Amino acid sequence: LMERANRWVNQSKPLLSNAGNFPGFPFRGFMGTRWWMGDSYEHIEESFGLGQPVKRFRLRVRLSNGKTVHREVTRQGKIAVLKMAAIENGIETFPKIWPIEAVEEMRFADPELAACNLQNNPSDAAIRTFSDDWLRYWRFTNEKADTITYKLEDGRNHYVKVDELIKRAVTDPAFSTSGDSSRAACVVTGTDMETGKHLVLEATAKRQDPEDNLEDYLNIIQRWGVRVAYVELAGQQLAYLQWLQREASKRGIPVSLEKVTPGGRRKDARIETLFIPFKQGELYVGHGQSVLIDDEYRHWRPGSRRADVLDALAYAMEVVPKPAFSGEHGGSAKERSQRQLGAYFRRRGLQRA
């Protein structure tokens, strides 16, 4: 059946051209939802894409209710593609047809079908969890732990001082010590503004009392020199945030303590937003972060009970600074040259004249 559909796609031009005298060739539109990897929709994209580079555009439309909708459209060869998913950025696209509860039920019942028919992304069915191929690592270059190195896409080693990273910390203070409860998770990220990469500097998850969690979080903030830190705000955690602010002020720790909220999104939906930064090589982890890599990253799928660090990391990625350029190759040649020269002087401890 699929082969016949693909054959019809290939013959659509001569079939339509012979149907009458058209000024030029008529517009062809293919609408539907994905079936599986290698289906006819994939065939359409490959056939009309002609192997050319993909160009991305952002469309904006104002609706009758005053809201503005943004959509990404790709153009490759002779085809333009608009893809929509039932859940995008943790928000229902068609709440009356596919509310988030119905989508999650489908994910549990048949993850492959949900990935294809609801998310229009069969690759999710093949992955279902994070891939080891997406993992990229950073490491310290010396015993002082004041310089970090990691590989860029072209294979070169990049170096950055820890003090030059823009750091953010996020905690989800789950207050319980019972064996079946969620763990209090903490994540510290450092953003390299020269390359736009985000490094997971520390990741912890423990079942502990509020006092222990507060003590650990303040120590982590102080150890890494974090200037802006966040607390997930849900239930009675507002009191914890206020307590944390008082203690930080009392101890003279120069940090701005803010809140992050679920915003109506469930944990699985928040964690799924990490797929893109991991897959695109924007996130780097430390080799010894087993609580993140071994406990959660390599075992997660929708519905997993152990996902506390991934959830904190998802919040962190919402508040990390976003460089104005995309990677080391962004900006003009002069701007790239100035960034590289500045990084060289900083590594050598020199000052520019």
Which tens digits make up the pLDDT trace of 129-146?
Answer: 688 889 999 999 988 889
Find how far residue 25's CA is from the centre of its chain: 41
The tens digit of pLDDT for each residue in 232-271 reads 987 667 888 899 999 999 999 999 999 998 877 788 889 9
Q: What pLDDT shows up at residue 23?
A: 59
**Tally of domains in the chain:** 2
Q: What pLDDT shows up at residue 326?
A: 46
User: In angstroms, how far apart are the furthest CA atoms of the chain?
Assistant: 82
Tell me if 178 is assigned to some domain.
yes
Let me know whether 292 and 186 are in one domain. yes
Q: What pLDDT shows up at residue 198?
A: 97
Tell me if 327 is assigned to some domain.
no
Q: What does each C-alpha distance from 139 to 196, 198, 304, 336 come to in angstroms? A: 17, 13, 29, 24
Structure tokens at 292: 């993140």
The tens digit of pLDDT for each residue in 149-187 reads 999 998 999 999 999 999 999 998 876 554 445 788 999
Q: Which one, of 218, 157, 233, 151, lies nearest residue 188 by Cα?
A: 218
Let me know whether 143 and 202 are in one domain. yes
Answer whether residue 329 shows pLDDT above 50.
no
Answer whether residue 191 shows pLDDT above 90.
yes
C-alpha 333/C-alpha 1 separation (Å) is 52
Q: Output the DSSP codes for 152-174.
A: -TTS-EEEEEGGGSEEEEEEE--
Let me know whether 41 and 77 are in one domain. yes
Answer whether residue 328 shows pLDDT above 50.
no
Answer whether residue 27 shows pLDDT above 80.
no
Tell me if 165 is assigned to some domain.
yes
Tell me if 328 is assigned to some domain.
no
Choosing from 100, 127, 154, the residue where a domain stops is 127
Containing domain of residue 261, as a range?
Answer: 132-322
Let me know whether 46 and 184 are in one domain. no
